[in-house]
Amino acid sequence: MTASMKPRALLSVYDKTGIVEFAKSLDSLGFELISTGGTARKLQEAGLTVIGVSEVTGHPEIFDGRVKSLHPAIHGPLLARLESEEDRNGLAELGYGPISIVACNLYPFTDAANQEPKLDDPDLLEMIDIGGPTMVRASAKNHRNVITVCNPDNYAKVVEELHSAGSYESVSLAFRQQLALEAFEHTAAYDAAISDELHARWIGRAESFADKSEQEMRLPNALIASAAKLHTLRYGENGHQSAALYIDPKVIGTHSTLVTAHVEGGKQMSYNNYSDADATLRLCRSLSTDEWPETPHACVIVKHNNPCGAALGKTQVEAYEAALASDPESAFGSIICFNEPVDVDTAKAMEPLFIEVLMAPGYNEDAKSIIMQKKNRRILTIESPNNRLAPLERILVKKPIEGGWIVQTEEAPIIDWTKAKVVTKAEPSQAQIDSMKFAVRVCEQVKSNAIVMVQGTATVGIGPGQTSRVEAVKIAARRAGERAKGCVLASDAFFPFKDGLEQAANAGASSIVQPGGSIRDQEVIDAADELGVSMLFTGHRLFRH
């Protein structure tokens, strides 16, 4: 092995988009091309002269290509500090020529992990790249001497910089650092995807995890998150804050999530739009189940992260009108979500209302034309199986705090209604229990302290985000007005004093569902009995902070 006098570029990519054009540009600039496997074959088929990695290392690829580039003849040049005379002399003594450019991207592990049917473990593990990340990290570490490019979108920029600088040695440090940072982000995201997938597959499956509790197994030992920036948003919650939208690699190429939804109409979605839309979609998914077969259509209206109306209906327009009636004043400038494609009747009913964002699994063409007559109205299409929103799935929610993070699972509450306990002399009717099931599902998505009043399967008054539970009751009752008479009321946590229950009964609530668990439960139960209100304890608190 002898050192080449020409600058060298090492090209080894899984995603071969643009690699031939990039290689031709490097060849025209006098670079000697080194490559591996499929990349080498593609370049040779394009008429380029390529030196195989095995020729450089003097060692054949082994184990079906598992080991190709892991050799000092590759990593010595990648890591040599050319500003150091000792390193330069060491390369010369070994006969290794410097490598000035590395183009490398990795096996698509996320695509393999998402493949249906699922790959078994041995096949999935074959999609974990070893040599690629090592080359990327080595060249990025030594970016003062090696230009690292792992995104095909940057090939043209590298060629432009080479032309502009006049030589690879003269390419600016700032540009090299930009590419090196992208390279480290690339490998970090790759490792995060692997750890997330293997945690999901392995935790609780093997005997080695038998000593972990259920709570421990549901959460990873290390919080490793990775997401790619889709675009910068205009600003954050307020004008002085910066914001951007990031995407989970697992959902790239789909339109089944909020981030990947197809967006049409109006101006660009803002930080607040996405935040409110997430709360809206989450509740609508929670209501999009088979629990209410006679009222399959769900409509949710949210303002400032809190529902101001939610309803199920026999028809979509019935659900919309019931949800709107819950708090029509707050619904101005709201975000609305339906669990099924929007039809013409609903589109006509929504015409007078100012809506920031509308979400659904689809839109009837005539309905879409009506909706889009308002030029600033944005509509999002959330692709869903059978054109019906999929139910809420468990996810991990991460909240930063000073010095770290707190993490929890986000999922619909699982309440065993056969074990729920009627604690009052009066018993709720079956119709009231059915309303309780709906009320609890809505209440779980309202900021605490939360009170939800419902009639049937529609909210009539919501008291969100109060520091006092009795104040939350007052707000819900004020919004419900006369519709509070005979309503079912859900509380996200126990009543600490009887005053909250008394306020509810005075407003007209006839039946109450709450978790129970207060040291004054009996006092609250006695008050309910005096007022003739039925009450059921679920044993499940539903705080949302």
pLDDT tens track for 113-158: 888 888 999 999 998 989 999 999 999 999 999 999 999 999 999 9
State the residue for tokens 């079906």: 64
In a domain, 211, yes or no: no
- SS3 call for 315: coil
Could you tell me if 289 and 164 lie in one domain? Answer: no
Contact in structure between 289 and 153 (CB atoms under 8 Å): no
Cβ partners under 8 Å of residue 418, min gap 6: none
Tens of pLDDT, residue by residue over 275-286, are 999 999 999 999
For residue 174, give both structure tokens. 């700032």
| pLDDT over 50 (residue 382) | yes
Could you tell me if 421 and 383 lie in one domain? Answer: no
Contact in structure between 148 and 139 (CB atoms under 8 Å): yes
In a domain, 122, yes or no: yes
In a domain, 101, yes or no: yes
Tens of pLDDT, residue by residue over 393-446, are 878 788 888 888 888 888 877 889 999 999 999 999 999 999 999 999 999 999
Q: How many C-alpha atoms does 137 have within 13 Å on its Cβ side? A: 12
Could you tell me if 23 and 62 lie in one domain? Answer: yes
- What's the 3-state SS for 101-164? EEEEECCCHHHHHCCCCCCCHHHHHCCCCCHHHHHHHHHHHCCCCCEEECCHHHHHHHHHHHHH
Could you tell me if 371 and 446 lie in one domain? Answer: no
Report the percentage of the chain scoring pLDDT > 90: 73
Could you tell me if 168 and 251 lie in one domain? Answer: no
Q: Residue count of the chain, please give it.
A: 545
In a domain, 22, yes or no: yes
Strand partners, 274: none
Could you tell me if 350 and 429 lie in one domain? Answer: no
Q: Catalytic site residue 262?
A: no
As a whole number of angstroms, the distance between CA 146 and CA 51 comes to 19
In a domain, 81, yes or no: yes
Could you tell me if 128 and 57 lie in one domain? Answer: yes
Strands 395-401 and 404-410: antiparallel
Of 198, 221, 251, which marks where a domain is finished?
198
What is the reported pLDDT for 2? 44
In a domain, 545, yes or no: no
Q: Catalytic site residue 545?
A: no
Tens of pLDDT, residue by residue over 54-103, are 888 888 888 887 888 889 999 999 999 999 999 999 999 998 989 999 99
Q: What is the mean pLDDT of the chain?
A: 91
Could you tell me if 186 and 247 lie in one domain? Answer: no
User: Any idea what the CATH number is for the domain that residue 526 is in?
Assistant: 3.40.140.20
Q: Single out the catalytic residue among 255, 304, 348, 374.
A: 304
Could you tell me if 307 and 353 lie in one domain? Answer: yes
| pLDDT over 90 (residue 454) | yes
Tally of domains in the chain: 3
In a domain, 401, yes or no: no
As a whole number of angstroms, the distance between CA 33 and CA 27 comes to 7
Could you tell me if 381 and 498 lie in one domain? Answer: no
Of 198, 231, 263, which marks where a domain is finished?
198
Q: What is the pTM of this model?
A: 0.81
Tell me which residue range forms the domain holding 28: 8-198
User: Any idea what the CATH number is for the domain that residue 31 is in?
Assistant: 3.40.50.1380
Could you tell me if 431 and 530 lie in one domain? Answer: yes
As a whole number of angstroms, the distance between CA 359 and CA 253 comes to 19
Angle of helix 131-141 relative to helix 72-79, nearest 10 degrees, comes to 30
Could you tell me if 284 and 172 lie in one domain? Answer: no
Q: Single out the catalytic residue among 16, 141, 212, 374.
A: 141
